[in-house]
Structure 1
Amino acid sequence: MSSPPARGPGDRSGSSSGQDSESVWHPAREWLESAVGDDMIDDDQDMDYVLESGEEEEEEEEDDEDAGQQGFDAAELELGNIHIEFTMEGGEEEQEGREARVSAVRLLNLLASNGLRQILNPNAWRGGIATGNDDDYDDDDIGSFTYRRRRRRAENIPYPDVPSKDGTELMGSGDFGSNSYYVDESKKRRKTLAHRLMWRELGTGTVGARRRAAQSVFQDLIPGSVADKIIHYDSRCYSGQFSDDGNFFFCCSQDFKVRMYDTSNPYDWKYYKTVDYPFGQWTITDASLSPDNRFLAYSSIRNLVCLAPTDPADQSDPSILDLSITPSGRVGRGHFGSSHFGIWSLRFSGDGREIVAGTSDHSVVVYDIETRQTVLRLQNHEDDVNAVCFGDSSSPHILYSGSDDTTIRVWDRRSMGDGREAGVFIGHTEGLTYVDSKGDGRYVLSNGKDQTMKLWDLRKMMTTAKFDTIDANSFTTGFDYRFEPYNEEYYEPHPHDCSVVTFRGHRVLKTLIRCHFSPPGSTNSRYVYTGSENGKVYVYNLDATLAGTIDVGMATLNSRPRDPDIFTTAYEMRSRGGEMMWRTCVRDASWHPNAPVVAATSWNGWGLSTGTCTVHTWNDNSPSDEGDPPVGRSYDSKLQYVEDFNRYKDTELRRSRLISQQLRRQPSEEPMW
């Protein structure tokens, strides 16, 4: 079954001709036009998504005013008796006695980039139902009305210490790798790979010492920025992960396809298979591989999950799992009074019998694959659940869920009599984008829109009784991470932060960027790592210091020529003489469990219009490789060599070197004193 074409900006039907050549596309434009066309808008969602209500699209001939009103109704804004009126002054039509009219879509498009979410937030209106001290807010004029954003309540508030004291203790505990031998530390010498191999081969000392020596061999081998392979896709990539045994890799892209690769040799990938999501909405949001590698579950902004066999000889259509089916056989009702919800996050249980999902109707759903029904539905969150995971790889009892309500809820399925969570992690001041478990039932990692990544310990979670006395929404700024940069003045330490270590330096903007624990086999569990909006993978030590970065943007720069239809799919415009810029946003990264190899999946290309999966290996910081095939070469999604892409990159590289040489030869100007 073939999947529908990906819908690019300005083209709801998938055609590239729908874009007006005289207009410039803005990332808010498609979101707003989609909201009006689909009769559904959700301001709290990521820019990646457009939630569909299940109703038919309105006819194109419908009046713009009516369409705009439907968009506001679907947003479920409780503005009370507030009446919004927009006027335009000084127009020629007004001088002639005629009223100037602006379509609702155009007006919303203009407002979105300046904070439409804050403008339409009922808690942001002056004179309305806003609460709190007015001194804690800044007023910004937007037309004839204002909105308010919380500002910092004190000056010079320090960020968490780096290195972190608690993180330093964890690094010495043995749970996260091993420390360097004290002789090397005292003499300030680097422990080389040959040195580590020697101690492993000697096998001296106790059994524990020999085991630690073996595990520490790969500990310092952080992959470099030079890409072994650049795998190109014609749409943005949203996630990509290795299997637990490292023999398998899958990559999800916005064209509703999941590509699978054989990575049993992590340095020589083989194309495996492609499966489709036949009725996707906007993109494939997540995928999860069963523990035995036999099935791949993947989702879109629907209440349906596709379950496809990974066997390349099995070309059957995927099975469809409806997560709205309750144990009684009835269709459940979601937060918005409908069974039509979107799935943001998806995970297999350790035994492969269940799937847990985080949804757009503020719920956590546990689905039994054998009985084909939902066995548990939890709706304690106050906003979308962007991330879910199991706490223990061998047990399905402990669940974690991260939400846009800034909290991580801890669920123990063995004690769910009152339907309440077992505890709460609180400390992020903006919504959560991802949650990952170390798999030991104790440590959890999260990425937040407050531009921090946090490590949590299950033993330090907040009780529900204490959490009931806290208003988590009072600590958020309300900034829109899809369009805005995060101003450091927004930062304010959470007074109830119960996290262990806070990591900062990366950027969690534009999309739901993911973070992970490094695997025990290839890194000795020494690091945590995350993607970033600035085109890099950040690798942190447990004490919050930076262990290294992988610059995906530099590795892929000019690796494919400009597409003549780029304006139909571009996400972002960067001005440099009106020229579209090459941009990279690393949304996900995966560290191979048995080798020093990282695969980064990104929004990549001219205006973030396409996607790549880049393979980075440890090469001791060498800028090149004499092996065959050469590093940094471009391939298509089936790993076929793309001559045009590589020729273009070589031409651009020679051109940039020539310009650099000419600049160096020019005499420097005399300084003016």
Structure 2
Amino acid sequence: MMSMYGSDYEEQSCGVSRFLDRKEELLKPDSDIRQMTNLRTEPTETMHRNTNNANKVASISPLKMLLAREANYFGKGRFSQADQCHVLNHYLPVDGPWPVDKMTSRAYISQFSKNGALFVAAFQGGHLRVYDVNNEWKVKRDIIAMDLRWTFTDTALSPDESCIVYACMSPIVNIAKIEGVSLDPDEEDEEEIHESLDFSLEVDDYPQSFGIFSIKFSTDGRELVAGCSDDSISVYDLEANKPAFHINAHSSDVNTVTFADETGQILYSGSDDDLCKVWDRRCLGYDKPAGVLVGHLEGITFIDSRGDGRYFISNGKDQTIKLWDIRKMSNTSNCKPKSYNWDYRWMEYPDDFRQIRHPHDQSVATYKGHSVLRTLIRCYFSPVHSTGQKYIYTGSADSSVHIYDVVSGDEVGLLSYHESTVRDCSWHPYYPTLVSSSWDGCISRWEHFGSEN
């Protein structure tokens, strides 16, 4: 390995140290996230009492819980949210798959709408398809991309779900209507349903040139926030129809940006500089993050927020998902750029490096088992409504979807069917349904066997 990576890794400027691969030494969630997850997913005190679960064992069979509900032991005739999640957590979407769509080009993006009525898939060949989930998954809109460079890098539905934006390797983001448009090609004018938004700002009378990797609507739908290949975060004002500002956020590509919660005031970003950063949008004009989180040894491909303004997860090219608590962030990175040469686009990750841990790791948990290679693979918390966010799930370069238990760190589900990298996957917000999109061109739907097919 020395010939590939140069000088001894432990002596490099990043100061990374090795540790033994013993289960007790792996980072596990702290007591706070354990408690918060258990409050959302464990049966209530009343349920324990009325199902004769005297020892308060966390797991109560769904049959006992249903009987208690039908007998109206609670006086409300229904489950609490935690009881509901406890029942539904027995039914992971691991059966199938059933085909949704198949194309001859790679599938890059899977995305359910917030209410689960729509599903979006984007293919490298230029098709952006919107499916009507409640109408037998029929194609509601088949948008042909304009100005596509290489592939779609991201899509985002507007808060009112009337339109969708898509980004690729350019500073141009296109916005297209979903509602009120005919599916008949003879009646549809792509120029009329598309609008191009130019995120570039002129510097010294020259327009900037960069690609957009990540795009998100603000909560009120008035702005778009983008992570860019010129190491920046860019904000576009939709009402003024012009870029608002462009800040130098990282020292390498910004692969992912997302909002911390519904207020839209706090942003998380992840970059190929291995760092996660937290930004207060009320202070964005100062070009300085509110804090930095260190722990990944390689670039960050995706970030998903728990939605509570406190916890988020990130997928890294070091083949790990990390769970973060922003209360642990610092003002500095505690890490200089690495000097070894490894390229995830064509090289396999060295086995010796899988058991290396950053000495200043600020994450509160680490999840391993999946593979992050070739593309910006995405990871997510499972839905609040049906699972209480008890799980983390991710695509993988091993052609599978991996599901981890947030608290134990154990892999509880492995969805294997595809013949190539699964770049993205999406769990229905209310039902035990998960859809995976793969480079084999397949969009596949996974259910629990007892679910309606």
CA drift at 1:377: 1.4
Question: Are the aligned partners of 1:537 and 1:552 in contact in 2 as well (CA < 8 Å)?
Answer: no
Residues 149 and 599 (structure 1), Cα distance of their counterparts in 2 relative to 1, 3 Å cut:
farther
Query: Are residue 545 (structure 1) and residue 413 (structure 2) matched?
Result: no
1:245-264 residue pairs with structure 2 within 5 A? 245-264=115-134
Query: Are residue 305 (structure 1) and residue 135 (structure 2) matched?
Result: no
CA drift at 1:217: 2.8
Question: Are the aligned partners of 2:42 and 2:83 in contact in 1 as well (CA < 8 Å)?
Answer: no
Query: Are residue 238 (structure 1) and residue 108 (structure 2) matched?
Result: yes
1:32-43 residue pairs with structure 2 within 5 A? none
Q: Distance in 1 between matches of 2:308 and 2:75?
A: 25
Per the alignment, residue 296 of structure 1 pairs with 164
Per the alignment, residue 501 of structure 1 pairs with 365
Per the alignment, residue 64 of structure 1 pairs with none
Select 1:391's aligned residue among 248, 257, 260. Answer: 260
CA drift at 1:194: 3.2
Q: What are the Cα deviations for residues 624-663 of structure 1, in whole angstroms up to 9, with x where unaligned?
A: x9x9xxx8xxxxxxxxxxxxxxxxxxxxxxxxxxxxxxxx
Select 2:378's aligned residue among 514, 517, 523. Answer: 514
Q: What are the Cα deviations for residues 68-120 of structure 1, in whole angstroms up to 9, with x where unaligned?
A: xxxxxxxxxxxxxxxxxxxxxxxxxxxxxxxxxxxxxxxxxxxxxxxxxxxxx
Residues 187 and 322 (structure 1), Cα distance of their counterparts in 2 relative to 1, 3 Å cut:
closer
Q: Distance in 1 between matches of 2:85 and 2:213?
A: 35
Equivalenced residues, count: 431
Runs of 5+ in structure 1 lacking a partner?
1-136, 141-146, 326-330, 554-582, 605-610, 632-673
Q: Distance in 1 between matches of 2:244 and 2:23?
A: 41
CA drift at 1:152: 4.8
Question: Are the aligned partners of 2:28 and 2:366 in contact in 1 as well (CA < 8 Å)?
Answer: no
Instruction: Name whichever structure is richer in helix by fraction.
Output: 1
Question: Are the aligned partners of 2:118 and 2:132 in contact in 1 as well (CA < 8 Å)?
Answer: yes
CA drift at 1:184: 6.2
Query: Are residue 532 (structure 1) and residue 362 (structure 2) matched?
Result: no
- Residue 395 of structure 1 aligns to a residue whose secondary structure is coil
1:260-299 residue pairs with structure 2 within 5 A? 260-264=130-134, 268-299=136-167
Per the alignment, residue 228 of structure 1 pairs with 98
Residues 176 and 369 (structure 1), Cα distance of their counterparts in 2 relative to 1, 3 Å cut:
farther
Per the alignment, residue 424 of structure 2 pairs with 588
Question: Are the aligned partners of 1:398 and 1:412 in contact in 2 as well (CA < 8 Å)?
Answer: yes
CA drift at 1:596: 0.3
CA drift at 1:362: 0.6
CA drift at 1:173: 2.7
Residues 515 and 436 (structure 1), Cα distance of their counterparts in 2 relative to 1, 3 Å cut:
same
Per the alignment, residue 231 of structure 2 pairs with 362
- Residue 433 of structure 1 aligns to a residue whose secondary structure is strand
Residues 176 and 340 (structure 1), Cα distance of their counterparts in 2 relative to 1, 3 Å cut:
farther
Select 1:319's aligned residue among 178, 195, 202. Answer: 195
Q: Distance in 1 between matches of 2:225 and 2:376?
A: 18
Q: Distance in 2 between matches of 1:369 and 1:169?
A: 39
- Residue 265 of structure 2 aligns to a residue whose secondary structure is strand
Q: What are the Cα deviations for residues 462-520 of structure 1, in whole angstroms up to 9, with x where unaligned?
A: 1x2x43xx33424x753211112112212421111111111011101111100011111
Select 1:454's aligned residue among 322, 338, 344. Answer: 322
Question: Are the aligned partners of 1:172 and 1:178 in contact in 2 as well (CA < 8 Å)?
Answer: no
Question: Are the aligned partners of 2:434 and 2:446 in contact in 1 as well (CA < 8 Å)?
Answer: yes
Residues 174 and 157 (structure 1), Cα distance of their counterparts in 2 relative to 1, 3 Å cut:
closer
Q: Distance in 1 between matches of 2:429 and 2:445?
A: 14
Per the alignment, residue 144 of structure 1 pairs with none
Residue 443 of structure 1 aligns with an amino acid whose one-letter code is: Y
Q: Distance in 1 between matches of 2:446 and 2:260?
A: 29
Residues 484 and 395 (structure 1), Cα distance of their counterparts in 2 relative to 1, 3 Å cut:
same
- Residue 389 of structure 2 aligns to a residue whose secondary structure is coil
Q: What are the Cα deviations for residues 443-462 of structure 1, in whole angstroms up to 9, with x where unaligned?
A: 11100000000111121111
Q: Distance in 2 between matches of 1:417 and 1:189?
A: 48
RMSD of aligned Cα (Å): 2.8
Question: Are the aligned partners of 1:204 and 1:210 in contact in 2 as well (CA < 8 Å)?
Answer: no
Question: Are the aligned partners of 2:81 and 2:385 in contact in 1 as well (CA < 8 Å)?
Answer: no
Structure-1-length-normalised TM-score: 0.60
Q: Distance in 1 between matches of 2:215 and 2:406?
A: 27
- Residue 305 of structure 1 aligns to a residue whose secondary structure is strand
Per the alignment, residue 20 of structure 2 pairs with 157
Query: Are residue 346 (structure 1) and residue 215 (structure 2) matched?
Result: yes
CA drift at 1:150: 5.0
- Residue 288 of structure 1 aligns to a residue whose secondary structure is strand
Q: Distance in 2 between matches of 1:332 and 1:370?
A: 23
Residue 286 of structure 1 aligns with an amino acid whose one-letter code is: D
Q: Distance in 2 between matches of 1:155 and 1:460?
A: 23
1:108-257 residue pairs with structure 2 within 5 A? 138-139=2-3, 148=6, 151-152=9-10, 157-158=20-21, 161=24, 165-167=28-30, 170-174=33-37, 177-179=40-42, 191-205=60-74, 210-257=80-127
Per the alignment, residue 185 of structure 2 pairs with none
Residues 230 and 184 (structure 1), Cα distance of their counterparts in 2 relative to 1, 3 Å cut:
farther
Select 1:471's aligned residue among 330, 335, 357. Answer: 335
Residues 160 and 333 (structure 1), Cα distance of their counterparts in 2 relative to 1, 3 Å cut:
farther
How many percent of aligned residue pairs carry the same amino acid? 35
CA drift at 1:426: 0.9
Question: Are the aligned partners of 1:425 and 1:461 in contact in 2 as well (CA < 8 Å)?
Answer: yes
Instruction: Name whichever structure is richer in strand by fraction.
Output: 2
Q: Distance in 2 between matches of 1:530 and 1:157?
A: 25
- Residue 256 of structure 2 aligns to a residue whose secondary structure is strand
Question: Are the aligned partners of 1:273 and 1:312 in contact in 2 as well (CA < 8 Å)?
Answer: no
CA drift at 1:597: 0.1
Q: Distance in 1 between matches of 2:300 and 2:204?
A: 25
Per the alignment, residue 447 of structure 2 pairs with 617
Residue 244 of structure 2 aligns with an amino acid whose one-letter code is: V
Residues 287 and 417 (structure 1), Cα distance of their counterparts in 2 relative to 1, 3 Å cut:
closer
Residue 614 of structure 1 aligns with an amino acid whose one-letter code is: S
CA drift at 1:225: 4.0
CA drift at 1:313: 2.2
Question: Are the aligned partners of 1:526 and 1:542 in contact in 2 as well (CA < 8 Å)?
Answer: yes
- Residue 357 of structure 2 aligns to a residue whose secondary structure is coil
Per the alignment, residue 490 of structure 1 pairs with 353
Residues 516 and 156 (structure 1), Cα distance of their counterparts in 2 relative to 1, 3 Å cut:
closer
- Residue 217 of structure 1 aligns to a residue whose secondary structure is helix
Q: Distance in 1 between matches of 2:363 and 2:54?
A: 29
Question: Are the aligned partners of 2:100 and 2:137 in contact in 1 as well (CA < 8 Å)?
Answer: no
Per the alignment, residue 14 of structure 1 pairs with none
4+ residue runs of structure 1 moved beyond 6 angstroms? Answer: 181-185, 187-190, 206-209
Structure-2-length-normalised TM-score: 0.87
- Residue 584 of structure 1 aligns to a residue whose secondary structure is coil
CA drift at 1:355: 0.7
Q: What are the Cα deviations for residues 410-437 of structure 1, in whole angstroms up to 9, with x where unaligned?
A: 1102234532110011100000000111
CA drift at 1:202: 4.2
Residue 513 of structure 1 aligns with an amino acid whose one-letter code is: I
